[in-house]
């Protein structure tokens, strides 16, 4: 569909697709300047997903890895970097559901209000060398009867005789 213009050269139609708002006052903070290129790209993706759902969007590490064209470990590092600098915060941590289907973490952007609460703008509290708290998912539960690292001991002659 061709775009139409007025006599003064202004566009009559809407821009196709959406956009991500990135104010200059955010880009000028020391926290933003300290972010890696991957973190800046992922921040925009988190903003896009969160904005579509009232500043609470689900984005998994696998989806982020695919979007950034990096591995899962690097994508997880980037999520931690954004948390440590105060740009995103988890609302609901991801977990493995009862049916064995995983649920991704729900993220919020700290530059926007969330459920009636004003924006926290945690990135303004960041300073070099003093990262903010990073919330990580629960670690897997320990097995009830773990196998020793070196394996099980061989039964002695007496134990074999008792069997």
**Above 90 in pLDDT, residue 70?**
yes
Domains recognised in the chain with CATH numbers: 24-124 (1.10.10.10)
Angle formed by the axes of helices 37-51 and 72-85, to 10°?
A: 80
Comparison of pLDDT for 143 and 19, the residue scoring more: 19
- The proportion of the chain whose per-residue pLDDT surpasses 70, expressed as a percent, equals 75
Write the CB contacts of 29 (distance below 8 Å, at least 6 apart in sequence).
123, 124, 126
Sign of CA dihedral 20, 23, 28, 32: negative
| pLDDT tens readout for residues 57-69 | 889 999 999 999 9
3-state secondary structure 112-150: CCECCECCCCHHHHCECCECCCCCCCCCCCCCCCCCCCC
Q: Are 110 and 84 in contact (CB under 8 A)?
A: no
Q: What is the model's pLDDT at position 102?
A: 81
Q: What is the model's pLDDT at position 14?
A: 58
**Above 80 in pLDDT, residue 106?**
yes
Q: Would strands 57-58 and 88-92 be described as parallel, antiparallel, or unpaired?
A: unpaired
**Above 70 in pLDDT, residue 150?**
no
Q: What is the mean pLDDT of residues 104-130?
A: 87
Question: Residue 13 is encoded by which pair of tokens?
Answer: 């139609």
């Amino acid at each position: 569909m061709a775009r139409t213009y007025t006599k003064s050269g202004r566009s009559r139609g809407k821009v196709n697709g959406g956009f991500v708002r990135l104010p200059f006052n955010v880009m000028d903070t020391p926290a933003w300047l300290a972010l890696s290129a991957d973190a800046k790209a992922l921040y925009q993706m988190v903003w896009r997903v969160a904005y579509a759902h009232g500043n609470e969007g689900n984005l998994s590490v696998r989806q982020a890895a695919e979007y950034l064209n990096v591995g899962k470990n690097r994508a997880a590092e980037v999520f931690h970097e954004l948390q440590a600098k105060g740009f995103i915060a988890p609302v609901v941590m991801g977990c493995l559901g009862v049916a064995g289907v995983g649920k991704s973490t729900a993220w919020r952007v700290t530059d926007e209000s969330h459920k009636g609460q004003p924006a926290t703008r945690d990135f303004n509290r960041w300073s070099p060398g003093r990262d903010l708290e990073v919330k990580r998912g629960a670690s897997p539960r320990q097995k009830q009867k773990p196998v020793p690292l070196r394996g099980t001991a061989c039964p002695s002659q007496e134990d074999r005789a008792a069997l």
